[in-house]
Amino acid sequence: MKFTEQKIVETLKINYMPYAMSVIVSRAIPEIDGLKPSHRKLLYTMYKMGLLHGAKTKSANVVGQTMKLNPHGDMAIYETLVRLTTGNGALLHPLVESKGNFGRVYARDMKFAAPRYTEVKLSEISSELFRDIDKDTVDFTDNYDGTMKEPVLLPTVFPNILVNPNQGIAVGMASNICSFNLKEVCDATIAYIKNDNIKLIDYLKAPDFSTGGELIYNEKDLKKIYETGRGSFKVRARYRFDKKNNCIEIYEIPYTTTSEAIIDSITDLVKSGKIKDITDVRDETGLSGLKIALDIKRSADPDNLMNRLFKLTPLEDSFGCNFNILVNGKPQVLGVKGILDHWIEFRMMCIRRQTAFDIKKKSERLHLLEGLSKILLDIDKAIRIIRGTEKEDQVVPNLMKGFGIDQAQAEFIAEIKLRNLNKEYIIKQTSNIESLRAEIADLKDIYNKESRILDIICRQLKEISKKYGQPRKTGIINEKHVEVITEEVLIEDYNVKLFLTKQGYLKKIPLTSLRASGEQKIKEDDEIIQEIEARNKNELILFSDQYVAYKLRIHEINDCKASQLGEYLENILETSPGERILYMTATEDYSGFMLFSFENGKCAKIPLSSYETKTNRKKLANAYSDVSPLCDIRFLQEDRELVAFSNIDKVLVFNTANINPKTTRNSNGVQVLRSKKGSLMTMIKELDEVKFKDFDYYRTKNIPAVGYYLKEEDKGENQVTMF
């Protein structure tokens, strides 16, 4: 086998570039009339078939006829036709009126019927795409086999490029043009023609889609799109709440998604447990239109639930704009004003060509009538010339010679029927000469004056706006009135109980589940050392014997049942080997204090806010002092009295208000219980945990203090250490 060495750059130029350019220029990118070649060929075929005013015909007939201009498979052509129909609803102003099942733009799985079952004709607004096409308004070119002509562009009377959406993917570039309200586009174009310096956003409020929904209005983003042709905006679904059936009904969705995609997304959220307020999801789309029904729990807030769904599902979606269009065969990304500039220039050219066509036709008619007027003076002479001419081919030359007229005029006179060679007929015909001259003069004035052409464009736009304009389908809601969907909003909030075991297992059980559960399951040699109540949105701080504080968001811990062991903290926190969790506390706003008590008799009161971090750090070193061994940890929401014990039976009742807080987490603290004979503080208790007959005996107003020996009568209490 022989191989020929080729330069890759040259090979790409020869083989790949023609294909790439063909896709860009002849397939994927729309032109200034708002149509791709496939759309234009299809619509022109229907126009030539007389489907603008006639009855509907089978789609299969249209598809077959279109193949004369578009050498593609029948299904490719039919899919192009489907998107243009009223039945499919993809366009704000459908160009094809349809009968039968054409699917729906918002339904992924609703397939259109075969072309032999459906019927189509051109819609009324399509007549505005073809207006005066027979008056040389646009260029025509040969079709692919040279057997017939087709228009290069359609002479659209309104900026269809902005009114109907268009999406295409070429080679190395793409186009994505959103649709705008027809009335707003016409008003904006008229205003722009009259004043180049208008603020477009005053006239063109925002994009408008056939599927409705609500556009989240951000003036800065829209201005960027209008100026550059690039950017994005968000559109969200519309819904209503049926109180009677406790059901949310979604009846309009973003243009960029489908009802099936939304239902699949909601179903996944329910299955994964991220959304617990939805009991059933149903697609109730029917002849009346789109409807997705969500059955929700009685306790659920429908607006709050929808806000969460907007964040987590395609019920709120972005539309990315890329206004890439072909202008004179070259792809350009243009802002709205740039598009309008090129469309106005194109439309002016169409009107000039139409005017030139009318001037030519009327001038030809005037020329013939002027010749006819010359024989009015002597009709008998004309009859004598015709009668006296022996040969037929000499009639025209003899008339030319007899009346001093040219061949065209003579041919016209010669073709007049004998019955019309009378004074009345000729006077009637020639009476239009002056009005024709006035009309031609007026047309020439239009042709030469740009201002008059622009006036015609404005007049036509006003007619279009009045005739076809319709209210906006997509609502506009200001970004300021849209609730910012933070991660906090997305978390389901409910009461939970947390259990910490000595061997490092953590259980999170919803209180609703706890009420129906039995005894807590733990390992045989394990025990529960702490249990606290919290909310699912709270943060959890866990303190270890290695002077480390670990932080967890409670909603990130899996719910479990009493019959389960729970989460093993070593796996979640990635603790060091042998490290043990001693204490945990839950917080919503980091208010309150942590009180650390040490064997040397000192207590450190650290604001819980000292453990709050701006970044999402999950491990904080130096969480408390390591100078002396720890004998107690506890959380204080507010100051209160506590009881301190030493290993020589000294007891002190003190108030934590006397301990000054320290913002440094590993502060050594303040002396509370003074050592006597080398004694150590062994534990801290709440007042209700001990049964002293006389608390005042042990109470002190000032710290530090040595404390008081435990009375014999109070020694009956079973004092135990935490560790």
Q: List residues with catalytic annotation.
A: 117
**Cα 237–chain centre separation:** 10
Residues in the chain, total: 723
Query: 631 Cβ partners below 8 Å, 6+ apart?
Result: 597, 598, 599, 680, 681, 682, 683, 684, 721, 722
- In this structure, how many other beta carbons lie within 10 angstroms of the beta carbon of residue 262? 23
**Cα 93–chain centre separation:** 21
Query: 12 Cβ partners below 8 Å, 6+ apart?
Result: none
Q: Nearest-CA neighbor of 156 among 457, 358, 451, 454?
A: 457
- In this structure, how many other beta carbons lie within 10 angstroms of the beta carbon of residue 119? 17
Q: Nearest-CA neighbor of 461 among 165, 203, 283?
A: 203
User: In the structure encoding, which two tokens stand for residue 71, read together?
Assistant: 């050498």
SS3 of residue 327 by DSSP: strand
User: In the structure encoding, which two tokens stand for residue 507, read together?
Assistant: 């259980």
Q: Nearest-CA neighbor of 181 among 569, 474, 516, 586?
A: 474
SS3 of residue 158 by DSSP: coil
Query: 236 Cβ partners below 8 Å, 6+ apart?
Result: 213, 214, 216, 254, 310, 315, 316, 317
Q: Nearest-CA neighbor of 118 among 48, 165, 59?
A: 59
User: In the structure encoding, which two tokens stand for residue 584, read together?
Assistant: 């945990």
Rounded to an integer, what distance in angstroms lies between the CA atom of residue 232 and that of residue 193?
27
User: In the structure encoding, which two tokens stand for residue 693, read together?
Assistant: 């007959």
Rounded to an integer, what distance in angstroms lies between the CA atom of residue 629 and that of residue 600?
8
Rounded to an integer, what distance in angstroms lies between the CA atom of residue 37 and that of residue 30?
8
Answer whether 110's CB lies under 8 Å from 103's CB.
Answer: yes
What is the DSSP track for 615-640? S---EES--S--SS-EEEEEEESS--
Query: 438 Cβ partners below 8 Å, 6+ apart?
Result: none
